[in-house]
C-alpha cells in the first residue's frame, strides 16, 4: 500500500561516458523526427465537442420541444407559442440557479390576446462563469450553451447577449449541431493530429 | 604601391564578406534555432512569414527596430550603450582569424580565405573572448536593476572561470601543432593526417563544455535563467538592443567558438579523417569547393549539436558551474597537458 | 469514520474543567474555555498524538456574547482520527505558534479577516489585505459588496464606461486598492533588512507561478531571510460562500485551485453530501465517474507541475512534452464536461451528465500510451546529473516539520508521511479501487519530484479500474442520486431549493496540491453560515521561508516549484 520511491544513483561509468545526457538526447531526437501535433490557429480550428460550454443561445420553437414539459409550462404561464421564436416561458428558473443572478435581465410582456411572451432577455456575459446551472435549470430546453468560443469583443456592450442574438445563435445551433449524437467529440482530423500517436479508433456512431 | 592598394581592397572585401556572412547567418540562425527547438518540441515553429517562416528573421528584426527605445531611470546611458558595442565587436572580431578553407589562387593572386593569418591567432581569439565579460558587467551595472546586476555577476563569474579552463583545454592541440596560428594548426593536422580530436578527446569535451558556458548556452545559461532572473542582464534593454545580446551570445559567439573548435580539433577544412591513415572525401566531386563545404558542414554540425543539447538539458546552478570548472575541468585539462607533452614527440615524428 | 470518538478524551475531562465533549456523525468537537485552550492543544499534540495541524479560524456570531467561536482542526496520522477543538472569545486568543508554525499563518489570516488579536504571536501582520486597510472583511457586519465610499481609482477611468447602464457601468467598485505608499508600509512591516540587497521577487514574476510576492534579503546570492506577501489574488471566496447556495458555490471552487478544478469540485460536493448524510445515496456510477475524472485531473495537474518545474530548472522541452499530454487530457475533460479549466462537473448527489459515447475508448487510448511518455521524460530527467545536482539535498523537510508546518499532499508524502486522504478516509470510489501511496525518504525536492511522478502512475491505475467498472455498468444506470423524500430534501442538477439542516462538518479531499478541506457551518437553509476553506497550497507554502534560509536564489525556483502552490487557492 505504501510504496517507497527511489532512483538508482548514477554509476561511475555512466558519469564518464555521459550516458545520462545521451539518454536525454536520444529522446529529443526521436521526438524531433515525429509528426508535429499542433493546430495552426487561426488558420485551422478544432471543432468544440457538442457539450462545449460556450456562448449562450435560445432554442426556437420547431416542434421538437421536450414534451410534455413544454406544454405544461406554456399552459402554466399562458405563453404565446410562435414557431421560429424563442421557447422561453419566462419562468426565471435560470436566474434563480445562477451564482451571479444579476447577469440576467428577463421580462415578459402581455399581448392583446391575454397571453404572454418573453420581451427582454439580456445576459451580461462579462459576469458569467459559464457553469451551466441555468441550462440545467431550464425546464423547456430553451437556454443552452453553444460551441461559440471566440468571444472577444471591442466594447463591453458586445458582451451582453440580447434576445435576438440568443435566438440567432439558437437557430444556427439547431441547424448545425442539434442532430449530432452525444459523443465525446466528433470526427475531426485536427484533433487527430494530436491523438494519432495514441492509435485512437472511435467506434462509428449512427446518426 | 599597387600591392598595398590591392591588399587594402582585398582586406576590405574580406571584411565585408565575413561581416555580411556572420551577421546574416547570425540572424538566420535564430530561425534555425527556432525550427530545431520547435521540432524537438513537436511544433512546426514559425510558419506564417514566408515559406515555412523563411522571412521570419527579417520580420523579427523589423519589429525589434521599430520598438520604443526604453531606458531605465537612474541608469548610466553611456555605459548602457557601450555594453552593446563591447558585446558585438569582440565577438565579430574573432572571425578575423578563422580560416574558412585552404589558400587558393584568384587571378594569379594567392588568397587565404581568412582576414588575417596572425601567428598568435589563438591568443587573439581568447583575448577577444574574455572581453565579453566587460560587456556583460557593464550591461548589468548600467541598467540599474537588481536582476540585471545578479545576472551579470553570474555571467562574469562563469566567464572568468571558463576562460582559464578553455585556455588550458586548447593547450593540447597547440602543443601537438607547435603553433598558435589557426591556419598553421589546420595545415599541421592535414600534414600529420590526424584530427586532434582523436588524441585529445578529453580536451575536446572540456572545450565543448567551456564553450557552452562562455556563450551562456544550456546547461550553463544561468545568466538568463528566465525562471529566476527573467532574462538576466538584458532585462532592462528593449527593442533591437535587447535582440543584439542573444544574437551575439547565442549565435555569433557559438559560431565563432565552433569554428575555432573545428580548427583545433576537427581538422578545419579537411575531409573525414581516419587516424594516421589519411583522409576520405565523399565530396571530392565538388573540386576546389569541397574544403569550404567541409568547414561549413563541421561548424553547422557542431552548432546543431549545441542546439540539440540546449533543448534537452536542464540548467546548473551558478555555484555548481564554477565548482565544476575549478574542481573538475581544470585538473582534467592539466592532466591532459602533461600527457600531451609526453606523447607529443611521437606525433611530431 | 475519520472522527475521533468521545471516549478517547474522557480522561481529559478531569484535567480540564469545563471540557465538553461533543460527538456527532459529522463532527467530534472538544469545547474548552479560552484560558485552557493552549494547554489542551499541547496535551492533544504531545500525549494524544494529534500532531498534524490542519486548520484554524473563527465563526462570527454578531448577536452572541462572546462573539467569536474559534475552532482548531487536528489530525492524528498514526490512528487516522480527526478532532476539532472549539472555544469562545471576544476578540483575542492565545497564539499556537509554539506548537505549530502553521497556526501562525492561520492566525494571521484570522487577524486579517476577523480582527482577532493573538497574544504571543511573533509577527501579527495582515495576511491578505494591506496594512492600512481599516476593515475586517469576513465579519458578518462587513457588507458583501464592500464599502462603496472607497474607490478603485484605476478602473473608474474607462473610456466607454460612463454611458453604460446598470451592471455594465464599472463606476461602482468595491474597496480601495492599495496605493504605492500602502504597499511600502506593508513591505516594511514584513522584513527588517539585514543583508545587502532586498530583492522583490514577484508579485509578477515568471518563477513564482502566479501573483506571489517574495522578499529576499540577499547576501550576494545567498538568501539571508525571506518573507512572503500574499493577497494579490484575494477575492474573498469565503465571504462569497456565505451568500451563495450550496450548489452555486461549486463554481467558486473551480476558481480556487484552477489547475485541479475537478478535484476541488469533488471535495466540495463530498463535504456537502457528508453534511447532508447522503453519501450512501450517490449512485455507484456517479462515484466511479467522479473518481475517474478527479484522477485524470490529478494527472493533468501534475503534468502542469512537471512542465513548469522542468521549465524553472531550464529543461524547456519537457514543458512542451508535458503540455502535449495535458492537451489530450484537456480534450477528454472538454468532451465529457464541456469545459477545459473551470469544470463544475460534479453536483451534490452525482454528476452533471453521464459519460458521452466514446469517452471510455478515448480514456483507454490515453492510458495505454501515457506510461511510455512518462518513461521518456524520466529518462530525460530523473537520472540526469544536472537534474540530480539541482534537486538532491535541496529543500529538505523532515517528518517532524511536516506536522509542525501542517504540510499535506505530495509534500508530506515526499518526507515519508503516508498522509493520503484517499486511503485514510476514502470518499467516492476510492475505497473500491486498488492503488499505492508513494512516499519519499529524504524529504528533499528530488523525493517530491519522484513522489509526484509515481502518483501519476497510481492515478493511471485508478483510472483503469474505474474504466473497467464503468464499462460493466449499463448505459441506463443512474448518475444522479434520487432523494428518498423529495419534500424534505430536494436534489436536482441545478441545486435550486437544496436545504441543508443545522450542523457542521469538516470534510476534505486529497487535491493534487495537498488537503483541500471545507469546514461548513450551517444554521439551516439554502446558504451556509460560514465556510472555511483549508487551502493545501497555503500551508504548504508556509514552510518556504524556512527552506529558503541560506539557500541561493537559483534554489528558490526549485523549492517553490516542488511545493507547487497555486495562488488562487492560497489567496482564495
Cβ contact (<8 Å) for C168 and A185?
A: no
Predicted local distance difference test score (pLDDT) of residue A157: 75
- Distance (Å, rounded) from C-alpha C457 to C-alpha C435? 9
Residue contact A10–C249, C-beta within 8 A:
no
Q: Are B336 and B172 in contact (CB under 8 A)?
A: yes
Residue ranges of alpha helices (H) inside chain A are: 12-16, 19-32, 69-77, 93-97, 133-137, 163-176, 189-195
pLDDT confidence tier of residue C148, bands split at 50, 70 and 90: low
User: Which chain B residues are closer than 8 Å to C316 by Cβ?
Assistant: 37, 41, 311
Give chain A positions within 8 Å (CB) of B308.
25, 28-29
Are A94 and A101 in contact, with CB atoms under 8 Å apart?
no
Q: Are C405 and C542 in contact (CB under 8 A)?
A: yes
Q: Is B228 on the interface with C (CB under 8 A)?
A: yes
Question: From the CA of A51, how many Å to the nearest CA of chain C?
Answer: 5
How much is the pLDDT for C216?
A: 86
C223: Cβ contacts below 8 Å, ≥ 6 apart = C216, C217, C548, C549, C550, C551, C552, C553, C556
B146 touches chain C (CB under 8 A): yes
Tell me, what's the pLDDT at B347? 67
b/e map of B129-142 (b: 16 or more CB within 10 Å)?
A: bbbbbbbbbbbbbb
Q: Is the pLDDT of residue C81 over 80?
A: yes
* Angstroms from C211 CA to nearest CA on chain B: 14
Helical packing angle, B182-191 and B121-142, nearest 10°: 130
Question: Residues of C numbered 311-350 whose beta carbons fall under 8 angstroms of chain A's beta carbons: which are they?
Answer: 317, 321, 324, 327-328, 331-332, 334-339, 342, 344
* Residue A20 at interface with chain C, using a CB cutoff of 8 Å: yes
Confidence check: pLDDT of A17 > 50: yes
Q: How many residues does chain B have?
A: 349
Question: Which of the four pLDDT bands, split at 50, 70 and 90, describes residue A207?
Answer: very low
Contacts of A41 (CB under 8 A, 6+ apart): none
Do the beta carbons of residue C153 and residue C171 sit within 8 Å? no
- What is the mean pLDDT of the segment spanning A120-141? 86
> Alpha-carbon distance B131 to B136, whole Å?
9
**Separation of alpha carbons B143 and B140, rounded Å:** 6
> Which of A3, A197, A201 is the closest to C436 by Cβ?
A3
pLDDT of res. C178: 66
C12 near A CB under 8 A: no
Sorting pLDDT into bands at 50, 70 and 90, what band is C154? very low
Among C43, C66, C41, residue whose Cα is nearest residue C54: C41
pLDDT score for C159 = 45
CA distance B308 to chain C (A): 11
Contacts of A17 in chain C (CB under 8 A): none
Look at residue C155 and tell me whether its pLDDT is greater than 80.
no
Report the candidate in B301, B245, B247, B260 with the shortest Cα–Cα distance to residue B36: B301
Is B81 within a domain?
A: yes
Residues in chain B where the model's pLDDT stays below 70? 1, 223, 225-227, 276, 347-349
Residue B296 covered by a domain: yes
* Grid cell locating C231: 493577497
C555 to B230: CB separation less than 8 angstroms, yes or no: no
> Does some domain include residue B278?
yes
The backbone torsions φ and ψ at residue A192, rounded to the nearest 5 degrees and listed phi first, read -70, -20
DSSP string over C294-337: HHHHHHHHHHHHHHHHHHHTT-HHHHHHHHHHHHHHHHHHHHHH
Measure in Å the smallest separation between the Cα of A114 and chain C Cα atoms.
30
- Neighbouring CB atoms inside 10 A of C77's CB total 18
- For chain C, which chains pass the contact test of at least 3 CB pairs under 8 Å? A, B
Say whether A3 and C321 touch across the interface (CB within 8 A).
no
HSE-CB for A78 with a 13 A CA cutoff: 8
Interface test with C, best of A17, A19, A48, A131 (most C CBs within 10 A): A131
**What domain range is B249 assigned to?**
75-348
Measure the CA dihedral C240/C241/C246/C249, to 10°.
60
Judge whether B46 and B54 are in contact, CB under 8 Å.
no
How far CA C384 is from CA of A7, B219, B326, C380, in Å, comes to 11, 12, 21, 7
What's the CA gap between A26 and A33, in Å, rounded? 11
Task: Please identify which residue in the block is written with the cell numbers 517562416.
Answer: B53
- Tell me which DSSP letter residue B342 carries: H
- Give me the sign of the Cα torsion angle C455, C458, C464, C467: negative
> Helix or strand or coil: residue B28?
helix
Task: Please state which of the four CATH numbers 3.20.20.70, 3.40.50.300, 3.30.70.980, 3.30.70.3270 is assigned to the domain occupying A56-176.
Answer: 3.30.70.3270
Which H/E stretch holds residue C452?
A: helix C445-472
Whole-number pLDDT of residue C40: 85
Q: Which residue carries 555580411 as its cell?
A: B20
Q: Note the pLDDT of residue C150.
A: 54
Is pLDDT above 70 for C176? no
Sign for the CA dihedral angle at C380, C383, C386, C387 comes to: positive
Q: Does C313 touch chain B (CB under 8 A)?
A: yes
Confidence of residue A150 (pLDDT cuts 50, 70, 90): confident
Contact B314 C207 (CB under 8 A): no
* β pairing state of B109-111 and A143-145: unpaired
Length of chain A, please?
Answer: 207
Q: Which of A2, A49, A105 sits opposite C439 (nearest CB)?
A: A2
CB distance B228–C384 less than 8 Å?
Answer: no
Does residue C107 surpass a pLDDT of 80? yes
* Positive/negative CA dihedral, C531, C536, C539, C541: negative
Residues of chain C in contact with residue A197, where contact means CB-CB under 8 angstroms, are 369
**Cβ C378 vs Cβ A7: under 8 Å:** no
- Confidence (pLDDT) at C175: 52
Separation between Cα atoms, residue B36 and residue B307, nearest integer Å: 7
Neighbours of chain B (3+ CB pairs under 8 A): A, C
- B60 domain-assigned: no
DSSP B93-125: HGGGG---S--EEETTEEE-SSS---TTHHHHH
Q: What are the φ/ψ torsions at residue C144 (nearest 5 degrees)?
A: -60, -40
Closest in B42, B219, B318 to C314, CB measured: B219
Enter the C-alpha cell of residue B170.
586548447
A2 to chain C, closest Cα gap in Å: 5
Q: Is the pLDDT of residue C167 over 60?
A: no
> Could you identify the residue written with the cell 442538477?
C493
Tell me: pLDDT of C57 over 60.
yes
Cβ neighbourhood burial of B319 (10 Å; 0-12, 13-18, 19+):
middle
How close B310 comes to chain A (CA, Å)? Answer: 10
Burial grade of A201 (CB within 10 A; 0-12, 13-18, 19 or more):
exposed
Higher pLDDT, C267 or C207: C267
Distance from C344 to chain A by nearest Cα, in Å? 6
Phi, psi of C71 (to 5 degrees): -135, 145
Q: What residue in B sits closest to C320 (Cα-Cα)? A: B41
The pLDDT value recorded for residue A203 is 64
Long-range contacts of B126-130 (CB under 8 A, 24+ apart): B126/B163, B126/B166, B126/B167, B126/B170, B128/B90, B128/B91, B128/B93, B128/B94, B129/B90, B129/B94, B129/B163, B129/B166, B129/B214, B129/B253, B129/B257, B130/B159, B130/B163
Angstroms from A135 CA to nearest CA on chain B: 38
The span from the CA of B21 to the CA of B295, in Å, is 14
**Residue B313 near chain C (CB below 8 Å):** yes
CB C407 within 8 A of CB C54: no
Minimal C-alpha gap between C41 and chain A (Å): 30
In order of start, what are the domains of chain C with their CATH numbers? 6-119 (3.30.460.80), 237-571 (1.10.645.10)
Most B CBs within 10 A among A16, A18, A20, A38, hence the mutation to make, goes to A38
CB contacts under 8 A, A 6-45 vs B, are 21, 24-25, 27-29, 31-32, 34-38, 40
Q: What angle do CA C148, C151, C156 make, to 5 degrees?
A: 115
d(CA C306, nearest CA chain B) in Å: 13
ipTM of the complex: 0.88
Instruction: Please state, rounded to an integer, the average pLDDT across all residues of chain C.
Output: 84
Interface contact A193, partner C, CB < 8 A: no
CA nearest neighbour of B189 among B275, B295, B113: B275
- Interchain proximity C387–B315, CB inside 8 Å: no
Instruction: From chain B, pick out residues whose CB is under 8 angstroms from the CB of A31.
Output: 40-42
CA distance C511 to chain A (A): 18
DSSP, residue by residue, C49-99: ---EEEEEEEEE-TTSSS-EEEEEEEEETTTTEEEEEEEEESSEEE--TTT
User: Is C314 an 8 Å CB contact of chain B?
Assistant: yes
**What gap in Å lies between CA C70 and CA C115, rounded to an integer?**
13
CA–CA distance from B33 to each of B29, B46, B227, C188 (Å)?
Answer: 6, 11, 20, 45
- Cβ–Cβ under 8 Å, residues B34 and B45: yes
For residues C254-276, b (16+ Cβ closer than 10 Å) or e, as one string? bbbbbbbbbbbbbbbbbbbbbbb
- How many separate domains does chain B show? 1
CB contact under 8 A, B313 and C386: yes
| Grid cell 529566476 in the structure block, residue | B228
Residue A171 burial (C-beta neighbours within 10 Å; 0-12, 13-18, 19+): middle
Where are the alpha helices (H) located in C16-57, listed in sequence order? 34-46
Strands (E), C136-236: 197-201, 213-219, 222-229
| Per-window interface: C 347-366 vs A, CB < 8 A | 352-353, 356-359, 361-362, 365-366
- Inside any domain, residue B3: no
Q: According to the model, what pLDDT value does residue C168 have?
A: 52
Contacts of C311 in chain B (CB under 8 A): 227
Between chain A and chain C, how many beta carbons pairs sit less than 8 Å apart? 189
Length of chain C: 572
Whole-angstrom Cα distance, residue C84 to residue C58? 12
Please tell me the distance from the alpha carbon of residue C125 to that of residue C131, in angstroms, as a whole number.
Answer: 7
- pTM: predicted TM-score of the whole model, two decimal places: 0.88
Among residues of chain A, what percentage have pLDDT more than 90? 0
B320 part of contact set with chain C, CB < 8 Å: yes
Strands C514-525 and C530-534: antiparallel
B176 has a chain C CB within 8 A of its CB: no
Amino acid at each position: 500500500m505504501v510504496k517507497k520511491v527511489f532512483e538508482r544513483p548514477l554509476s561511475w561509468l555512466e558519469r564518464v561516458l555521459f550516458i545520462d545526457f545521451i539518454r536525454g538526447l536520444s529522446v529529443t531526437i526521436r521526438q524531433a523526427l515525429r509528426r508535429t501535433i499542433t493546430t495552426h490557429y487561426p488558420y485551422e480550428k478544432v471543432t468544440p465537442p457538442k457539450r462545449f460550454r460556450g456562448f449562450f443561445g435560445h432554442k426556437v420553437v420547431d416542434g421538437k420541444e421536450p414534451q410534455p414539459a413544454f406544454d405544461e409550462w406554456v399552459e402554466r404561464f399562458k405563453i404565446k407559442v410562435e414557431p421560429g421564436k424563442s421557447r422561453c416561458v419566462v419562468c426565471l428558473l435560470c436566474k434563480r440557479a445562477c451564482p451571479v443572478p444579476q447577469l440576467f435581465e428577463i421580462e415578459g410582456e402581455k399581448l392583446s390576446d391575454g397571453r404572454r411572451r418573453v420581451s427582454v432577455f439580456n445576459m451580461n456575459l462579462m459576469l458569467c462563469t459559464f457553469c451551466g446551472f441555468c441550462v440545467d435549470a431550464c425546464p423547456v430546453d430553451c437556454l443552452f450553451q453553444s460551441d461559440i468560443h471566440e468571444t472577444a469583443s471591442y466594447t463591453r456592450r458586445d458582451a451582453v447577449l440580447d434576445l435576438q442574438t440568443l435566438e440567432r445563435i439558437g437557430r444556427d445551433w439547431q441547424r448545425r449541431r442539434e442532430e449530432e449524437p452525444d459523443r465525446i467529440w466528433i470526427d475531426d482530423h485536427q484533433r487527430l493530429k494530436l491523438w494519432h500517436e495514441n492509435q485512437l479508433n472511435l467506434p462509428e456512431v449512427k446518426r | 604601391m599597387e600591392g598595398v592598394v590591392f591588399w587594402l581592397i582585398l582586406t576590405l572585401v574580406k571584411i565585408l564578406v565575413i561581416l555580411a556572412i556572420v551577421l546574416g547567418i547570425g540572424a538566420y540562425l535564430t530561425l534555425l534555432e527556432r525550427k530545431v527547438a520547435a521540432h524537438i518540441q513537436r511544433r512546426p515553429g514559425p510558419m506564417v512569414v514566408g515559406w515555412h517562416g523563411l522571412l521570419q528573421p527579417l520580420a523579427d528584426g523589423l519589429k525589434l527596430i521599430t520598438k520604443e527605445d526604453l531606458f531605465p531611470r537612474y541608469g548610466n546611458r553611456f555605459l548602457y550603450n557601450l555594453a552593446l558595442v563591447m558585446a558585438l565587436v569582440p565577438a565579430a572580431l574573432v572571425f578575423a582569424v578563422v580560416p574558412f578553407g585552404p589558400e587558393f589562387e584568384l587571378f594569379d593572386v594567392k588568397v587565404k580565405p581568412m582576414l588575417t593569418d596572425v601567428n598568435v591567432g589563438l591568443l587573439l581569439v581568447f583575448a577577444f573572448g574574455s572581453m565579453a565579460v566587460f560587456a556583460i558587467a557593464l550591461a548589468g551595472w548600467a541598467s540599474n536593476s537588481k536582476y540585471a546586476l545578479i545576472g551579470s555577476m553570474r555571467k562574469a563569474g562563469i566567464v572568468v572561470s571558463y576562460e582559464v579552463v578553455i585556455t588550458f583545454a586548447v593547450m593540447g592541440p597547440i602543443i601537438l601543432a607547435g603553433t598558435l596560428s589557426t591556419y598553421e594548426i589546420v595545415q599541421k593536422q592535414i600534414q600529420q593526417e590526424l584530427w586532434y580530436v582523436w588524441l585529445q578527446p578529453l580536451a575536446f569535451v572540456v572545450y565543448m563544455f567551456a564553450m557552452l558556458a562562455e556563450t551562456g548556452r544550456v546547461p550553463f545559461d544561468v545568466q538568463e535563467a528566465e525562471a529566476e532572473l527573467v532574462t538576466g542582464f538584458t532585462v532592462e534593454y528593449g527593442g533591437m538592443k535587447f535582440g543584439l545580446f542573444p544574437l551575439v551570445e547565442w549565435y555569433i559567439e557559438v559560431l565563432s567558438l565552433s569554428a575555432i573548435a573545428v580548427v583545433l580539433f576537427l581538422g578545419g577544412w579537411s575531409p573525414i579523417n581516419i587516424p594516421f591513415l589519411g583522409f576520405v572525401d565523399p565530396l571530392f566531386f565538388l573540386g576546389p569547393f569541397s574544403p569550404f563545404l567541409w568547414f561549413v558542414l563541421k561548424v553547422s554540425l557542431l552548432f546543431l549539436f549545441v542546439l540539440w543539447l540546449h533543448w534537452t538539458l536542464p540548467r546548473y546552478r551558478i555555484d555548481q558551474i564554477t565548482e565544476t570548472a575549478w574542481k573538475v575541468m581544470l585538473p582534467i585539462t592539466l592532466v591532459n597537458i602533461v600527457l600531451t607533452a609526453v606523447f607529443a614527440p611521437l606525433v611530431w615524428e | 469514520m475519520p472522527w475521533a470518538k468521545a471516549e478517547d478524551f474522557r480522561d481529559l475531562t478531569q484535567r480540564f474543567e469545563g471540557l465538553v465533549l461533543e460527538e456527532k456523525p459529522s463532527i467530534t468537537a472538544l469545547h474548552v474555555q479560552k484560558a485552557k485552550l493552549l494547554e489542551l492543544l499541547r496535551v492533544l499534540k504531545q500525549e494524544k498524538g494529534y500532531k498534524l495541524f490542519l486548520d484554524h479560524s473563527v465563526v462570527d456570531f454578531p448577536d452572541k456574547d462572546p462573539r467569536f467561536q474559534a475552532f482548531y482542526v487536528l489530525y492524528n496520522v498514526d490512528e487516522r482520527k480527526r478532532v476539532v477543538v472549539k472555544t469562545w472569545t471576544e476578540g483575542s486568543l492565545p497564539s499556537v505558534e509554539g506548537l505549530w508554525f502553521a497556526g501562525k499563518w492561520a492566525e494571521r489570516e484570522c487577524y486579517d479577516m476577523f480582527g482577532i488579536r493573538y497574544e504571543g504571536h511573533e509577527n501579527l501582520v495582515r495576511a491578505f489585505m494591506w496594512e492600512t486597510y481599516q476593515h475586517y472583511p469576513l465579519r458578518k457586519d462587513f457588507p458583501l459588496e464592500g464599502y462603496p465610499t472607497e474607490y478603485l481609482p484605476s478602473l473608474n477611468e474607462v473610456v466607454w464606461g460612463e454611458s453604460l447602464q446598470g451592471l455594465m457601468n464599472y463606476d461602482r467598485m468595491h474597496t480601495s486598492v492599495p496605493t504605492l505608499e500602502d504597499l511600502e508600509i506593508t513591505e516594511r512591516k514584513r522584513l527588517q533588512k539585514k543583508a545587502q540587497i532586498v530583492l522583490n521577487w514577484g508579485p509578477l514574476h515568471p518563477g513564482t507561478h502566479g501573483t506571489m510576492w517574495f522578499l529576499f534579503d540577499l547576501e550576494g546570492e545567498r538568501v539571508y531571510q525571506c518573507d512572503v506577501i500574499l493577497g494579490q489574488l484575494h477575492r474573498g471566496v469565503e465571504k462569497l460562500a456565505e451568500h451563495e447556495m450550496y450548489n452555486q458555490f461549486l463554481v467558486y471552487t473551480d476558481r480556487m485551485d484552477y489547475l485541479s478544478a475537478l478535484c476541488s469540485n469533488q471535495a466540495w460536493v463530498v463535504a456537502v453530501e457528508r453534511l447532508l448524510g447522503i453519501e450512501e445515496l450517490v449512485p455507484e456510477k456517479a462515484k466511479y465517474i467522479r473518481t475517474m475524472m478527479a484522477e485524470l485531473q490529478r494527472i493533468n495537474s501534475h503534468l502542469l507541475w512537471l512542465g513548469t518545474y522542468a521549465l524553472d530548472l531550464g529543461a524547456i522541452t519537457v514543458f512542451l512534452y508535458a503540455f502535449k499530454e495535458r492537451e489530450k487530457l484537456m480534450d477528454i475533460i472538454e468532451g465529457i464536461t464541456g469545459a477545459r479549466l473551470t469544470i463544475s462537473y460534479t453536483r451534490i448527489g452525482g454528476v452533471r451528465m453521464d459519460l458521452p459515447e466514446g469517452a471510455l475508448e478515448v480514456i483507454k487510448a490515453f492510458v495505454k500510451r501515457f506510461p511510455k511518455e512518462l518513461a521518456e521524460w524520466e529518462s530525460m530527467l530523473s537520472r540526469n546529473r544536472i537534474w540530480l545536482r539541482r534537486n538532491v539535498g535541496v529543500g529538505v523537510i523532515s517528518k517532524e516539520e511536516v506536522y509542525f508546518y501542517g504540510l499535506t499532499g505530495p509534500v508530506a508524502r515526499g518526507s515519508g508521511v503516508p498522509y493520503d486522504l484517499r486511503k485514510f478516509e476514502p470518499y467516492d470510489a476510492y475505497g473500491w479501487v486498488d492503488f499505492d501511496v508513494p512516499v519519499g525518504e529524504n524529504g528533499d525536492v528530488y523525493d517530491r519530484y519522484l513522489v509526484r511522478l509515481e502518483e501519476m502512475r497510481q492515478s493511471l491505475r485508478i483510472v483503469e479500474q474505474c474504466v473497467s467498472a464503468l464499462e460493466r455498468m449499463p448505459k441506463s444506470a443512474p448518475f444522479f442520486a434520487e432523494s428518498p423524500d423529495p419534500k424534505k430534501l430536494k436534489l436536482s442538477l441545478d441545486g435550486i431549493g437544496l436545504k441543508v439542516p443545522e450542523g457542521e462538518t469538516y470534510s476534505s479531499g486529497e487535491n493534487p496540491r495537498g488537503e483541500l478541506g471545507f469546514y461548513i457551518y450551517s444554521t439551516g437553509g439554502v446558504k451556509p453560515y460560514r465556510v472555511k476553506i483549508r487551502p493545501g497550497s497555503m500551508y504548504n507554502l508556509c514552510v518556504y521561508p524556512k527552506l529558503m534560509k541560506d539557500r541561493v536564489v537559483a534554489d528558490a525556483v526549485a523549492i517553490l516549484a516542488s511545493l507547487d502552490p497555486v495562488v488562487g487557492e492560497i489567496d482564495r
